[in-house]
């Protein structure tokens, strides 16, 4: 029999907070290229997190986010100076939460809620605070403590010790399918937030449930 859930853990970027919100500033700086830059930037940021973990050459998420931005500007032939890059990087510290996140978290707060993110503590604290969500979370776990990125199983395990409950009593919520696959492979009960009707990856692990808005999560959990 499935034990009751005793904790919920949320991914941050893409799940609670919108990394593509940088497209507004990107469009102001590079007219006509805002969408392309924000998409390539995000995709390279993730790729660099995976590759550096495999190479055993960890750099923190701030650094690889900068590196991904520099690459993306070069690739798109956007001539960017340090000041423009700084403006885009600063936007990462105040990414907006998706509109339904706060009302959904209010409904879910009968469970201990935490964040488990690739971001550094120095990125996550202002991000959560700028969205007025500091009080919602019992823990904000950063991969930086382990110097490797998701989906390494050590990352998911890191949260378990502090939560003091067993793997299968932890519900993990992410909009990133590869993160769901990693968390499922590790042993969490997983909930894929599929806002954009995306296609799930063929990685051999599937979530307990799929839903399209965080507001559906309380119903999905019961």
Instruction: Return the residues of window 70-129 that contact its own copies according to CB under 8 A.
Output: 70-71, 74-75
Q: Measure the CA dihedral 60/65/67/70, to 10°.
A: -160
Q: Does the footprint of its own copies cover residue 202 (CB under 8 A)?
A: yes
Between CA 141 and CA 10 the distance in angstroms is: 10
Q: Which is nearer to its own copies, 139 or 152 (CB)?
A: 152
Q: Does the footprint of its own copies cover residue 182 (CB under 8 A)?
A: yes
3 state SS of 79: coil
Q: Which is nearer to its own copies, 55 or 161 (CB)?
A: 55
Minimal distance, residue 53 CB to its own copies, in Å: 6
Binding segment toward its own copies, per CB under 8 A, in 25-33, 54-62, 91-99, 161-169: 54-62
Two tokens, residue 35: 């969408």
Please count the other Cβ atoms lying within 10 Å of the Cβ belonging to residue 26.
27
From 35, 54, 129, 145, residue interacting with its own copies (rule: CB under 8 A) = 54
Minimal distance, residue 139 CB to its own copies, in Å: 23
Q: Does the footprint of its own copies cover residue 185 (CB under 8 A)?
A: yes
Assess contact for 160 and 170: CB atoms under 8 A.
yes
Assess contact for 53 and 84: CB atoms under 8 A.
no
The Cα-based distances of 76 to 28, 35, 36, 202 in angstroms read 16, 12, 8, 30
Q: Is 179 a catalytic residue?
A: no
Between CA 134 and CA 130 the distance in angstroms is: 9
Q: Which is nearer to its own copies, 47 or 86 (CB)?
A: 47
Q: CB neighbours of 60 closer than 8 A, spacing ≥ 6?
A: 120, 144
Q: Which is nearer to its own copies, 18 or 179 (CB)?
A: 179
Q: Which is nearer to its own copies, 75 or 212 (CB)?
A: 75
Q: Does the footprint of its own copies cover residue 48 (CB under 8 A)?
A: yes
Minimal distance, residue 150 CB to its own copies, in Å: 8
Between CA 74 and CA 80 the distance in angstroms is: 8
Residues found near its own copies in the complex (CB under 8 A): 44, 47-48, 50-57, 59, 67-68, 70-71, 74-75, 149-153, 178, 181-182, 185, 199, 201-205
């Amino acid at each position: 029999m499935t034990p009751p859930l005793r904790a919920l853990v949320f991914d941050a970027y893409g799940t609670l907070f919108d990394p593509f919100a940088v497209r507004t500033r990107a469009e102001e700086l590079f007219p006509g290229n805002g969408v392309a830059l924000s998409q390539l930037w995000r995709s390279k940021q993730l790729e660099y997190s995976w590759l550096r973990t495999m190479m055993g050459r960890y750099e923190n998420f701030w650094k690889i986010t900068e590196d991904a931005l520099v690459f993306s500007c070069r690739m798109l032939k956007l001539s960017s100076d340090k000041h423009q890059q700084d403006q885009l990087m600063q936007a990462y510290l105040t990414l907006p939460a998706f509109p339904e996140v706060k009302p959904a978290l209010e409904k879910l707060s009968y469970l201990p809620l935490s964040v488990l993110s690739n971001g550094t503590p120095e990125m996550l604290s202002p991000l959560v605070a700028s969205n007025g969500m500091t009080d919602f979370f019992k823990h904000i776990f950063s991969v930086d403590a382990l110097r490797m990125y998701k989906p390494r199983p050590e990352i998911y395990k890191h949260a378990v010790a502090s939560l003091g409950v067993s793997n299968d009593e932890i519900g993990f919520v992410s909009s990133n399918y590869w993160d769901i696959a990693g968390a499922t492979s590790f042993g969490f009960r997983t909930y894929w937030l599929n806002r954009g009707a995306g296609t799930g990856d063929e990685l051999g692990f599937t979530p307990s449930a799929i839903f399209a808005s965080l507001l559906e999560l309380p119903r999905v959990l019961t």
